Amino acid sequence: MEKRTDAGGWMYERAELEGKTVWGTGAPVDHGTVPKGLYCYDIFGSGKQMDAENNYISQTPAAENCVGAIISMEPLPFHGGKALCLDGIKFHEDEPMCSLGDLMGQAQQTACPQEMAGLCM
């Protein structure tokens, strides 16, 4: 299995998948290092960056072939399945990548006041 690393050590690219905003990185991250209030999912499959139809987001941590991670501010809709295909994902390549701290700032700005307390690191 690939070595998982601290989620705070990576940069993330914003994307849209099934109407949801997500941020992706090409590194397997330790889910325990993702701040409370954010959702972390593994990407598994071929590992080839431009091969969306053969890469998937796993609802549970992937035991093998983990090639990256997706972070979101809300749960992803798995439609009763265990994985979502990345086919159809739209990356915002014209935007700069952001850090996990930047994502936390965005989450705090969009959360209502009672939720913000749970998002603090």
Amino acid, single-letter form, for residue 88: G
Q: Which of 100-104, 105-109, 113-117 has the lowest mean pLDDT?
A: 113-117
pLDDT greater than 80 at residue 10: yes
Eight-class DSSP state of 81: S
Predicted confidence band at 99 (pLDDT cuts at 50, 70, 90)? very high
What is the average pLDDT across 32-50?
87
How far is 106 from 67, CA to CA, in rounded Å?
25
Residue range 56-69, pLDDT digits in tens: 999 999 988 898 99
pTM for the predicted model, two decimal places = 0.83
Q: How far is CA 4 from the centre of its chain?
A: 14
How far is 96 from 92, CA to CA, in rounded Å?
9
